[in-house]
């Protein structure tokens, strides 16, 4: 017997039919003898609908009241799923985040979980009940309802699983698991049976949208195995786990990408100690996060300072920098708001050379200019023109034979 936390996303509980289907999935796990705690999202589209209601009524909805509103979506799901289970003669009890005692900080609409109480869950499990919990929400120190940011039900599930020391946290969604890259873009993308926590963190932060970032951080911190799988089909999905549990070791695991990038270059800046700090402080003051950074010294003893930001921040950055450029007498600001970031991720990079050269050659052979590069121990990111992203991803995917079984790919590097 194992203790399993299952989370069902919005599309998995998107209709009453789907709700029945989920109830049957839960029953399957019960029939295998497991104790089951279920975390549910709002029915598909419901959170968006509630946000639209709020925005239609108020130009700037009060954040406390917005949380009171948004948390209702998950409350509907939990009650309906429990009814379905009870009807099928599997006793179930539903609870909101505040009923369970999911304590968060007070940052409304983007709260962080501080503590999860387990008493009620344990009591109900002991009675043989399925415990159904509303995802995405908690309660702060003032007793106000909070929500955890978009996609937050993933984090609810992982936090509950960690608090209960569950054997596995299963995240049911509408994709079969984690792929080598987005199969919507590259149909040859392959489903990964395993991925390490570290790789999953990189994949998520670099643009893969399957799990909420905080849920991956939390799982990794607590070494909690997370399985991502589809509620629409029967596969075993992808297990996010420790590196040493992964048998089919590969050099690289996948390619993540993000189109929402902009690149900004300020050139001819006087070369002075501390100048880089002054440039970033300008941007930091506007509360904007800088992602990649590169700097060159020119023959004229000035520097060219280039960096990327999220595309939606780009007008603000430009404004902050224009004034600064005039003040320090920089020559020009060049920008391109239509770039994308393509990242290759793999723990194998730690122990193998030649990954970057293979990646850059693949892009070069496609005639795709690389505008910027950053690397870390297990990833290489490049900035390319947005129009060349798809071709770039495909070329790199092919160069590393990510569409093939790992065994075939290994041959490439055993030389």
Q: Which positions touch Mg ion (CB under 5 A)?
A: 9, 151
Instruction: Classify the C-alpha dihedral 405-407-408-409 as positive or negative.
Output: positive
| Minimum CB–partner distance for residue 214 and ligand ASP (Å) | 11
Within the chain, what is the greatest distance between any pair of CA atoms?
80
| Minimum CB–partner distance for residue 31 and Mg ion (Å) | 27
DSSP helix, strand, coil percent of the chain (3-state; round to 5): 40, 25, 35
- Beta-strand ranges (E) seen in 82-221 are 92-95, 102-104, 113-116, 130-134, 137-139, 145-147, 168-173, 194-196
Q: Which residue number has the CB closest to Mg ion?
A: 151
Binding partner of residue 42 among Mg ion, ligand ASP, none, CB cut-off 5 to 8 Å per kind: ligand ASP
Binding partner of residue 136 among ligand ASP, Mg ion, none, CB cut-off 5 to 8 Å per kind: ligand ASP
Give the pair of three-digit tokens for residue 359: 């990646």
Taking the CA of residue 9 as centre, how many other CA atoms within 13 Å lie in the half-sphere pointing to its CB? 21
Nearer to ligand ASP, 9 or 14 (CB): 9
Binding partner of residue 380 among Mg ion, ligand ASP, none, CB cut-off 5 to 8 Å per kind: none
DSSP code of residue 191: B
Binding partner of residue 10 among ligand ASP, Mg ion, none, CB cut-off 5 to 8 Å per kind: ligand ASP
Give the pair of three-digit tokens for residue 98: 């505040």
Q: Which residues contact 326 (CB under 8 A, 6 or more apart)?
A: none
| Minimum CB–partner distance for residue 275 and ligand ASP (Å) | 41
Nearer to ligand ASP, 109 or 336 (CB): 109
Residues found near ligand ASP in the complex (CB under 6 A): 9-10, 41-42, 47, 73, 135-136, 150-154
| Minimum CB–partner distance for residue 71 and ligand ASP (Å) | 9
Binding partner of residue 150 among ligand ASP, Mg ion, none, CB cut-off 5 to 8 Å per kind: ligand ASP
Instruction: Compute CA distances 183 → 175, 188, 241, 390, whole Å.
Output: 10, 7, 22, 11
Binding partner of residue 47 among ligand ASP, Mg ion, none, CB cut-off 5 to 8 Å per kind: ligand ASP
Is residue 98 within a helix (H) or strand (E), and if so which, with residue range?
A: helix 97-100
| Minimum CB–partner distance for residue 47 and Mg ion (Å) | 10
Nearer to Mg ion, 151 or 207 (CB): 151
Binding partner of residue 152 among Mg ion, ligand ASP, none, CB cut-off 5 to 8 Å per kind: ligand ASP
Helices H / strands E in the chain, number of each? 13, 18
| Minimum CB–partner distance for residue 41 and ligand ASP (Å) | 3
| Minimum CB–partner distance for residue 403 and ligand ASP (Å) | 31
């Amino acid at each position: 017997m194992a203790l399993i936390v299952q989370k069902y996303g919005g599309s998995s509980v998107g209709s009453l039919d789907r709700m029945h289907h989920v109830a049957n999935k839960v029953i399957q796990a019960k029939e295998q003898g497991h104790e089951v705690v279920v975390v549910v999202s709002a029915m598909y589209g419901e959170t968006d609908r509630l946000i639209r209601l709020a925005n239609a009524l108020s130009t700037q909805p009060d954040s406390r009241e917005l949380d009171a509103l948004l948390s209702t979506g998950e409350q509907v799901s939990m009650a309906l799923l429990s009814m379905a289970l009870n009807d099928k003669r599997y006793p179930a009890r539903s609870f909101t985040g505040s009923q369970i005692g999911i304590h968060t900080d007070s940052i409304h609409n983007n709260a962080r979980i501080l503590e999860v109480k387990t008493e009620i869950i344990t009591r109900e499990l002991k009675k043989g009940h399925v415990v159904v919990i509303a995802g995405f929400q908690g309660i702060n120190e003032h007793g106000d309802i909070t929500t955890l940011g978009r996609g937050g039900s993933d984090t609810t599930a992982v936090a509950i699983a960690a608090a209960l020391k569950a054997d596995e946290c299963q995240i049911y969604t509408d994709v079969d698991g984690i792929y080598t890259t987005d199969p919507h873009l590259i149909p040859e993308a392959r489903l990964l049976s395993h991925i390490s926590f570290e790789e999953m963190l990189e994949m998520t932060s670099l643009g893969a949208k399957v799990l909420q970032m905080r849920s991956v951080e939390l799982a990794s911190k607590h070494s909690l195995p997370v399985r991502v799988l589809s509620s629409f089909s029967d596969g075993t999905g992808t297990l996010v786990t420790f590196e040493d549990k992964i048998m089919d070791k590969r050099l690289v695991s996948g390619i993540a990408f993000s189109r929402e990038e902009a690149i900004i270059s300020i050139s001819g800046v006087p070369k002075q100690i501390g100048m880089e700090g002054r440039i970033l402080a300008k941007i930091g003051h506007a509360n904007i996060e800088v992602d990649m950074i590169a700097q060159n010294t020119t023959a004229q003893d000035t520097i060219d300072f280039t960096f990327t930001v999220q595309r939606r921040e780009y007008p603000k950055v430009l404004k902050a920098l224009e004034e600064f450029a005039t003040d320090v007498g920089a020559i020009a600001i060049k920008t391109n708001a239509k770039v994308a970031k393509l990242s290759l991720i793999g723990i194998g990079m730690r122990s193998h050379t030649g990954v970057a050269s293979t990646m850059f050659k693949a892009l070069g052979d496609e005639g795709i200019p690389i505008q910027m590069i950053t690397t870390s121990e297990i990833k290489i990111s490049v900035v390319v023109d947005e129009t060349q992203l798809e071709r770039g991803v495909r070329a790199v995917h092919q160069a590393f034979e990510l569409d093939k079984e790992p065994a075939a790919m290994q041959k490439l590097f055993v030389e």
